[in-house]
Structure 1
């Protein structure tokens, strides 16, 4: 904010800069009234009257209790902080659209706004796949804030588009919170918001997709709930695209394995997942806003199938599949870290502690810096499996590295 202010002031030929303390004062409940030069700069930055930014002229009396307009101003200031931090994802055209939308939201009916938000959401998803959830989470949260703010005043058709983007953003935000290690109720909150907006917009497949993601977020020790959610996603009253259907059936297979179903029942469900994928057209680049699971590939299905075999007590089969498809397949850094961590666990279950620890260190090097939480969780599970081999040098190295990372 201070840097943006300085740039606008220089462009306007106004002297002076502001520091962080001044920004915080303006963001407070009692922001004061800026001086003449600052008022000029702020109007140029936001394209809004200062009163709409929450500032009150000096002649306006204050009671001890904020009135409705004052509370609205505080909310707007908080929202605008978020817009500033997310706007770089939208590009110059998208930023102009946001300014116009905020200035006259009640009359705004430009459908291109949803397109700018979709582009920003896809950029955040790419950041997550490469650099981890903590890098992508602020932008995802601000996209949600933009949707929620503008949907209140948009025309019905634009509101519908905004809420459709919002459903995707809420589901993605739930994933980011989960991977970043947030408490379970935080993930549940954003999943519920995604379901709400998918239902409001009549998007049945998106509703099913959120159920799938909820199943994937369910703890493996709550296998019956995971099975209920995955089964509902795969067999509910909606037509999932074939790739999404394949992933839902794969998740159902994993849940069956965790409930103790016979391996042949798990294998039959995985066969149905492969049949669904066979019906799909050409795979598309992975996208947070494109066709559901449009980038779901056979390599990914095989790697996830290996996890089901591991859960079904067939670690040797899991090791074979994971080794083959990690060598040949193309995965984002986050996914490669996750599947490599599962390979480490499958090797541990197959009685190969030294190799498990070595592969575990490879996964740790992929997952530690970006903070890929699901991969790190699997590595901790593997370390627990290897406790009886703790004196082996490779196992000791892995356990010590995980302990140091936790500290």
Structure 2
């Protein structure tokens, strides 16, 4: 039987040999609060009061456990009515479906709306701390995949949201800038894990933080990140409109953000079938990328070798230009660094589709085999989705031995050659 949140808190406290007052003291040290005492901890343990998401985030930090553990226990503890009003979305291996009421409750929780505190001093030194942490998360994501990082990134983003509400002046705005990067990264992790519904509230958080930062580049980045999600939905017009909004003041954008917006708009152009616009946008992005000297907004334009040509190959594949896409992948994939293995798996799956279109099924299966191995190791739903396209492209050979080989390759990830 699943534990209630009270049961979990009692177990964690006893494991540390703490009293309820020691838990309260540790919680107050973590949050700067002076309002918690042993009586409140006792209410949490008895289940007469459920800690709100902000409190669960800090309790998880106090005990050194994933916040998801406490969130799931909280969901088990409360009534269905309480869940609709307070709970964060619970994550499992399947994509989630949320109604508008759920989305509003999630957004309230994510933005710290359930907790209001008077302003207090927030040390500006926290800003470089969070920035350094985020750079480490980017590196880890490339090697581990989304499932290993979701709880950590979400918890830190919620903490930043609370600090924004407590800070003043320039510190508040700089924290909001950092928060944009965390929120958009959280959205990306949800997308890569195959949970598009739970990515949307994080995009909303990013938009709010961007506007609170008073930084037009933050707003532009949040718009382009939302356009990325719309690309996954196949909505070319939405992608183009969002990127055009980000580019409205392009003369005042840094080279990094300009490249980010141009390449994403190219994806929108590929969705509506315009190769000419794809090439024009990516050629412009290619000229601008040489002027990028740092990734302030974490756009991956420097972390990903051949960044613009990766986008071009992807767009060409979407446009059905198999020969052109395959030629680019042949140049890109062999020189990709080992730490980019998950990205390389996605690219290999895309090249496999091109190989099948070029009537080279053996090469397609070899590429799919590599991609499937990495998909299993990292839990990347993005790679699995690309491999589904390989199965479709290989339909002409599904009755042959090579088609059976592909089915064996894809079976462990729950994909196979389509029937009919």
Out of 194, 197, 205, the position equivalent to 1:185 is 197
In structure 1, C-alpha distance between the alignment counterparts of 2:41 and 2:192, rounded to whole Å: 47
Greater Cα offset, 39-48 or 200-209: 39-48
2:322 — aligned with what?
A: 315
Preserved contact between residue 130 and residue 178 of structure 2 (Cα < 8 Å): yes
2:373 — aligned with what?
A: 365
- The question of 1:273 aligning with 2:281 is answered no
- Within a 5 Å distance, the mapping from 1:71-110 to structure 2 comes to 77-84=55-62, 106-110=119-123
Out of 407, 410, 414, the position equivalent to 1:399 is 407
Secondary structure at 2:211 match in 1: helix
Aligned CA distance change for structure 1 residues 381 and 198 (closer, same or farther; 3 Å): same
Preserved contact between residue 336 and residue 344 of structure 2 (Cα < 8 Å): no
Out of 197, 208, 211, the position equivalent to 2:223 is 211
Out of 320, 325, 337, the position equivalent to 2:332 is 325
Aligned CA distance change for structure 1 residues 386 and 136 (closer, same or farther; 3 Å): same
In structure 1, C-alpha distance between the alignment counterparts of 2:34 and 2:298, rounded to whole Å: 42
In structure 2, C-alpha distance between the alignment counterparts of 1:392 and 1:205, rounded to whole Å: 53
Greater Cα offset, 207-216 or 354-363: 207-216
Gaps of 5+ in 2: 11-16, 67-116, 416-420
Preserved contact between residue 242 and residue 277 of structure 1 (Cα < 8 Å): yes
In structure 1, C-alpha distance between the alignment counterparts of 2:150 and 2:210, rounded to whole Å: 21
Aligned CA distance change for structure 1 residues 129 and 299 (closer, same or farther; 3 Å): same
Count the aligned residue pairs.
Answer: 356
Aligned CA distance change for structure 1 residues 250 and 58 (closer, same or farther; 3 Å): closer
Aligned CA distance change for structure 1 residues 310 and 85 (closer, same or farther; 3 Å): farther
Gaps of 5+ in 1: 1-19, 29-35, 61-65, 89-103
Aligned CA distance change for structure 1 residues 231 and 394 (closer, same or farther; 3 Å): farther
1:4 — aligned with what?
A: none
Post-superposition shift, 1:238? 6.7
In structure 2, C-alpha distance between the alignment counterparts of 1:247 and 1:45, rounded to whole Å: 42
Post-superposition shift, 1:74? 5.1
In structure 2, C-alpha distance between the alignment counterparts of 1:76 and 1:138, rounded to whole Å: 13
CA deviations over 1:234-253 (Å, ceiling 9, x no partner): 44567332233223222222
Greater Cα offset, 325-334 or 290-299: 290-299
Post-superposition shift, 1:302? 1.0
Secondary structure at 2:378 match in 1: coil
In structure 2, C-alpha distance between the alignment counterparts of 1:227 and 1:58, rounded to whole Å: 51
1:38 — aligned with what?
A: 19
- Within a 5 Å distance, the mapping from 1:159-308 to structure 2 comes to 159-182=172-195, 184-218=196-230, 219=232, 221-236=234-249, 239-261=252-274, 263-278=275-290, 280-282=291-293, 284=294, 292-293=299-300, 295=302, 299-308=306-315
CA deviations over 1:266-311 (Å, ceiling 9, x no partner): 3222222222224x144x4xx6x55655625561211211111222
Preserved contact between residue 54 and residue 76 of structure 1 (Cα < 8 Å): no
In structure 2, C-alpha distance between the alignment counterparts of 1:119 and 1:324, rounded to whole Å: 32
When normalised by structure 2's length, the TM-score is: 0.73
1:24 — aligned with what?
A: 6
In structure 1, C-alpha distance between the alignment counterparts of 2:340 and 2:185, rounded to whole Å: 16
In structure 2, C-alpha distance between the alignment counterparts of 1:123 and 1:58, rounded to whole Å: 34
Greater Cα offset, 292-301 or 184-193: 292-301
In structure 2, C-alpha distance between the alignment counterparts of 1:58 and 1:322, rounded to whole Å: 57
When normalised by structure 1's length, the TM-score is: 0.75
Aligned CA distance change for structure 1 residues 107 and 235 (closer, same or farther; 3 Å): closer
In structure 2, C-alpha distance between the alignment counterparts of 1:81 and 1:326, rounded to whole Å: 43
Secondary structure at 1:52 match in 2: coil
Preserved contact between residue 43 and residue 50 of structure 1 (Cα < 8 Å): no
Out of 333, 336, 352, the position equivalent to 2:360 is 352
Out of 330, 337, 342, the position equivalent to 1:334 is 342
2:88 — aligned with what?
A: none
- State the superposition RMSD in angstroms: 3.8
Out of 379, 395, 400, the position equivalent to 2:387 is 379
Greater Cα offset, 228-237 or 296-305: 228-237
Preserved contact between residue 174 and residue 191 of structure 1 (Cα < 8 Å): yes
Aligned CA distance change for structure 1 residues 314 and 110 (closer, same or farther; 3 Å): same
